[in-house]
Structure 1
Amino acid sequence: MDIHPRVLRYFLVVAEELHFRRAAERLYITGPALSQQIRHLERELGFEVLRRTSRSVDLTDKGAELVPLARAVVDASDTLSAWAARADQGTTRIRIGFMATGAGELTQGILNATSANLPLLDVHLKHLEWGDQTRALLENRVDVVFTREPVRADDLRCTVVLSEHRVVVLPSSHPLANRSTVTFREIAEETFLPSETGSQEWIDYWLVNPRPDGSAARTGPSISTVEEMLEQCAAGTGIAITAESVPHFYAHPGVRFVVVEDLAPTRVLLCARSDNSDPTVRKFEQLVEDIAHR
C-alpha cells in the first residue's frame, strides 16, 4: 500500500467540507482532480471512505475511522517538512498558511505572480482554522500566513495586503436583507454568532464587543468555520460579521451579505516570524508587497 500524505490531506478536507466543490476550492485544485485522488485512495485501501449521492457526500463508517489516522499521518508529514526546512538553509520551498478567503481577490494573482517570478519555488498551501493562524506560524508549521486583524504583532513581521469592508450575514428573510448598506445601530440588538476558536481579542473584534455604549453583544451558538456561519445564519439562529470578499468565495441561497457602512474596514496581513531571515520568505514578502501596492 502506497498512500501519499497529500492524498490523505485531500481526504481530510473533503471529510470536513462534505462537499467536493468547496473542498476543491480550499485545496486550489479542480473538482475532477480531487475526485480522482479520492478514488485512488479508496482503491489503495480496498474500501470506500465516502458515500456519494447526487445531493450529498457523507463519511462511511470506515471513512470516519480513517479521519484520526489520516490526521496523524498528515501532522507527522508536516513535522518532517518543518525539520527538513530547518536543516536546509537554502530551501526553495515555502509553506503558506491561509484562512477562508486567504488574500481575498488578490489570492490568485499572488499565486500566479509567484509561479511567474519565482518558478523554482515549491509552494505548499496549508488551510488553517480561525484560531490557528498565528499559532501555526509561531510553531513553525508554516513559513508565512495570510491572516486578518486583529493580530498580536509580537515576534511577527507583517505586511498589509488589502483592506475591505466588513459585512453582516443575514438570513434572506431578514427585513434588512435586501439593503445595500446598514448602520451598526440597526443590527446591534440582534443575536450574534461568536467564533468557537481564536483569541478573545479576535472574537470580540468580529462581535463588535463591547459596543460603543459599553453593552455586550447578545450571542447565540458558536461557530468555527465559514460553512457553519452560513448555515446558522440561514437557519435564523443568529447573524455574523465577516469580510466583504467572503461572498465571492462562498455562496448560500439562504443568506445575504450587506455592507456595514460605519464599521472600520478589516485588513488582511501577510505575516512571518520576525526572526525568519530565509531569503525565500523575504522574496515572497516583497512580491506580495509589490502586488498589494499595485
Structure 2
Amino acid sequence: MELRQLRYLVAIADEGNLRRAAASLYVTQPSLSYALKSLESELGVRLFDRHAGGVTATAAGRDVVTEARRTLRQAERIRAVAERHRPSGSQVLRVGFEASGAGELTTRARSEFARRRPGVRVEPRRFDWGEEVTALREGRADVAFIWLPADLTDLHTEVIHSEPRVVGLPRGHRLAARDGVTLTDVKDEPLTWTERAPRPWVDWWAVNPRPDGSTPRWGPTNNNVEEMLEQVASGEAICFAPVGMARYYARPDLTWVPLLGVEPMRVAMAWVRGGETDLIQGFADTVRDLVADNGSSL
C-alpha cells in the first residue's frame, strides 16, 4: 500500500465520482479505476458500491477512508518536521490560501520573500473553503492567508487585507448590467453554498440572517470554487465572493457586480501560535512591509 493509493481513495470519496476524482488528481479514469480495484483486492474488501451516478463508500470503505485521511495528515506532519531540519539551501515554506487568497498581496508576498530568501523554496498550497485553518493545525501549511470569520483558537493572526464583496451572475442575467446590487435585489435568487466549511463561515458569506430577519434562498451546494463557478455560469445559482475573485476567475460566461450594503471580506495572515520559525517570521515581515508600502491594504 502506498500514500498515492490513499490519496486516490480520499479523492474518490470526496468526489463520489471516478471521472471527477480522476480530473482532480490529473490522472486518467482507467488508471484510477485500476488503482481502486488493486487496493480493494489487496485489502480483501469492497470499498465503494458503483451506481449510475458514481460511487458510494461501503461501511468498510467509510472506515478505510477515515484512516486514510489520518495517515495522509500524519505523512504531512512527518514531511514538515523533516523540512525544518533541512540545510538553509533547501528549506521550504508552505503558504496556504483559498481561492484568490489575499488578492495580489498573496502573489507579491511569495515573490518578494523568494527574492529576499533565494535559498528558500516557497510552495503555494491552495485549499478549499475554510480548509486553510485546519491545514495550519495539521501541519499541511506553515503560514496561511485566512478568509474570516474563522476559528482562530491557538493561531497567531494579523488582519492584513480586506476586499469589497461582489455577486457572481450568469452572463445575460437580469441584474448583470447593474452598477451594483443589494441583498433585496437578489433575495429570490438561489445562492450556492458549501457544506465543507464551518457554518458560521457559510452564514457570514451568505449574510444569514439578512438585515430584515429573512434567510437566503439556498441553492445547490459545492465543494470548491470551480464547482461554484460552474453552478453560476449554468444559471443554477448566484454566488457572493470577494472582488479579487472577479479578477482571478474571469470567465466570459460570468458577470461580477458589486454587492452593496454589506461588510467587506477581511483576510488574516496566520500561523500556529508557538510554532513560529525564522522562515515564518521572515515571511510575516515581508507581508507587513508590502502592506505598509501600499499605504495599508485594510
Under a length normalisation based on structure 1, what TM-score does the superposition of the two structures give? Answer: 0.74
- Partners of 2:162 and 2:118 lie apart in 1 by 28
Corresponding residue for 2:81?
83
The amino acid that maps onto 1:60 is: Q
Listed as ranges, the matches of 1:31-42 within 5 Å are none
Say whether the 8 Å CA contact 1:89–1:278 is kept in structure 2: no
Say whether the 8 Å CA contact 1:94–1:281 is kept in structure 2: yes
SS in 2 for 1:213: coil
Corresponding residue for 1:44?
none
SS in 2 for 1:152: coil
Corresponding residue for 1:95?
94
Corresponding residue for 1:41?
none
Under a length normalisation based on structure 2, what TM-score does the superposition of the two structures give? Answer: 0.73
Listed as ranges, the matches of 1:218-229 within 5 Å are 218-229=217-228
Deviation at 1:87, TM superposition (A): 5.9
Runs of 4+ with deviation above 3 angstroms? 15-19, 63-69, 71-77, 85-92
- Partners of 1:153 and 1:125 lie apart in 2 by 21
> How far does the alpha carbon of each residue in 1:29-81 deviate from its partner, in whole angstroms, 9 at most, with x for none?
xxxxxxxxx8xxxxxxxxxx4xxxxxxxxx33114555898x98976752331
- Partners of 2:112 and 2:35 lie apart in 1 by 37
The amino acid that maps onto 2:291 is: A
Corresponding residue for 1:236?
235
Corresponding residue for 1:211?
210
Say whether the 8 Å CA contact 1:160–1:292 is kept in structure 2: no
Identity over aligned residues, as a percent?
32
Change (3 A) 1:85 1:135: same
Listed as ranges, the matches of 1:103-118 within 5 Å are 103-118=102-117
Corresponding residue for 1:34?
none
Change (3 A) 1:65 1:219: farther
- Partners of 1:138 and 1:79 lie apart in 2 by 10
The amino acid that maps onto 1:197 is: R
Deviation at 1:157, TM superposition (A): 1.2
The two structures, once aligned, show a CA RMSD in angstroms of: 3.2
Listed as ranges, the matches of 1:1-294 within 5 Å are 18=23, 49=27, 59-66=28-35, 78-85=76-83, 92-294=91-293
Once the two structures are overlaid, the 10-residue window that deviates more, 71-80 or 101-110, is 71-80
The amino acid that maps onto 1:146 is: F
Deviation at 1:86, TM superposition (A): 5.9
- Partners of 2:113 and 2:22 lie apart in 1 by 28
Change (3 A) 1:198 1:182: same
Deviation at 1:107, TM superposition (A): 2.3
SS in 2 for 1:229: helix
SS in 2 for 1:221: strand
- Partners of 2:244 and 2:34 lie apart in 1 by 35
Say whether the 8 Å CA contact 2:195–2:222 is kept in structure 1: yes
Aligned length: 250
Say whether the 8 Å CA contact 2:76–2:139 is kept in structure 1: no
List alignment gaps of at least 5 residues for structure 1. Answer: 24-37, 39-48, 50-58
Say whether the 8 Å CA contact 1:190–1:239 is kept in structure 2: yes
- Partners of 2:116 and 2:110 lie apart in 1 by 10
Change (3 A) 1:140 1:76: closer
Say whether the 8 Å CA contact 1:159–1:285 is kept in structure 2: no
Say whether the 8 Å CA contact 2:84–2:91 is kept in structure 1: no
Say whether the 8 Å CA contact 1:160–1:289 is kept in structure 2: no
The amino acid that maps onto 2:92 is: R
- Partners of 2:240 and 2:22 lie apart in 1 by 21
